[in-house]
Copies of this chain bind each other. A is one copy, B any other.
Amino acid sequence: MARLPGRPGTRAHEPIPPLPARARQPRASRAAGGQHAVQGATSSEWAADADRPATAANLAYARLKALILDNALAPGSQRLESELAAELGLSRTPVREAMVRLEQDGLVTITPRHGMRVTAVTPADMREIYEVLNSLEPAAAELLTRRGLAAKQLAPLADACTAMERALHKEDRHAWAAADEVFHLGLAELCGNRRLAGMIMQVWDQSHRARMFTLHQRPLPERSTAEHRAVLQAVMAGDSESAREMYRLHRRRSGEELIALIERSGVAWL
């Protein structure tokens, strides 16, 4: 039980750090294109959902979500509506709406008299999440392949692969994770099934902190990098069976690796 990243059950009183302006940027647009574009993709950038109007509720949602994903709001920590409202400089109404949405995202739990508590992800939760991803992501790969998109439209995935390979060379784990995220979410987005994509993104968000946690404990993800490239090649070759199977293998292996890592590290939640 070493190095607990948070202490569920205790009331957290850390002040909320102001977010950098980039937190309001829309989800990393695939239109950007350049190879390096992928590198800047950190959670706070795509936390701002879609292109909703710049309303206070959406702002609160985006900022709280970014804080949670970036681990600035410790898992297990509790915050009252009024606290958050004061710290965000808003009234309780939009903050409340944001909390409701975050709860449906599975990122927090609202307890009537105790405000919202940031959901702590246990190894068991990670198992659930990877079971879901194990099922959904291969399906997305298969669907994407069947769409038979032109190479140009698959560029974001190719770029992400390249970015991963470059990051691997430079041993830049953060860049690698960012590219990994771009690849997985990009594939989900491109598969043509918005519901499927949304579900993948949801559990992906839920497991974001855990992935970041293991980032520096695991060996360099050489195998994962190669697997991504292989998936992409299967997709481009139009071999949907193979794409699905390769993605399934990748998903299963990397999921088990991550869960093993977390369990071995002894943390009870993330």
- Give CA–CA (A206, B194) in the complex, Å: 13
- Which residues in B have their C-beta under 8 angstroms from that of A96? 97
The minimal Cβ–Cβ distance linking A233 to chain B, given in whole angstroms, is 23
User: Pick the contact of A132 from B53, B97, B106, B196 — CB < 8 Å?
Assistant: B196
Q: With A53-B112, A135-B136, A139-B135 known to touch, is A195 a contact of B101 (CB < 8 Å)?
A: no
What are the interface flags for A137-157 relative to B under an 8 Å C-beta threshold, 1 for contact and 0 otherwise? 011000100000000000000
Once the chains bind, are B97 and A128 in contact (CB under 8 Å)? no
- Give CA–CA (A143, B143) in the complex, Å: 23
Q: Chain A's interface: helix, strand, loop or mixed, by majority?
A: helix
Taking the complex as formed, is A256 at the interface, i.e. its CB lies under 8 A from any CB of chain B? no
- Give CA–CA (A205, B46) in the complex, Å: 28
The minimal Cβ–Cβ distance linking A107 to chain B, given in whole angstroms, is 12
Once the chains bind, are A199 and B139 in contact (CB under 8 Å)? no
A138's nearest neighbour on chain B, judged by CB, is B135
Once the chains bind, are B131 and A193 in contact (CB under 8 Å)? yes
What are the interface flags for A73-112 relative to B under an 8 Å C-beta threshold, 1 for contact and 0 otherwise? 0000000000000000000010011001100111000001
- Give CA–CA (A138, B138) in the complex, Å: 13
Q: With A53-B112, A100-B101, A104-B101 known to touch, is A194 a contact of B128 (CB < 8 Å)?
A: yes
- Give CA–CA (A100, B102) in the complex, Å: 11
Q: With A101-B100, A101-B104, A104-B104 known to touch, is A193 a contact of B132 (CB < 8 Å)?
A: yes
Once the chains bind, are B195 and A106 in contact (CB under 8 Å)? yes
- Which residues in B have their C-beta under 8 angstroms from that of A101? 100, 104
Q: With A100-B100, A104-B104 known to touch, is A131 a contact of B196 (CB < 8 Å)?
A: yes
Taking the complex as formed, is A215 at the interface, i.e. its CB lies under 8 A from any CB of chain B? no
User: Pick the contact of A97 from B97, B112, B134, B143 — CB < 8 Å?
Assistant: B97
Taking the complex as formed, is A203 at the interface, i.e. its CB lies under 8 A from any CB of chain B? yes
The minimal Cβ–Cβ distance linking A209 to chain B, given in whole angstroms, is 16
Q: List 22 A-B contacts (CB under 8 A).
A: A96-B97, A97-B97, A97-B100, A100-B100, A100-B101, A101-B104, A106-B195, A128-B193, A128-B195, A128-B196, A129-B195, A131-B139, A131-B196, A132-B196, A132-B199, A134-B139, A135-B136, A135-B138, A136-B136, A195-B203, A195-B206, A199-B199
A residues near B, CB below 8 A? Answer: 53, 93, 96-97, 100-101, 104-106, 112, 128-129, 131-132, 134-136, 138-139, 143, 193-196, 199, 203, 206
Given contacts A135-B135, A195-B206, 9 further A-B contacts (CB under 8 A): A53-B112, A101-B104, A104-B105, A128-B193, A131-B193, A131-B196, A132-B193, A135-B138, A135-B196
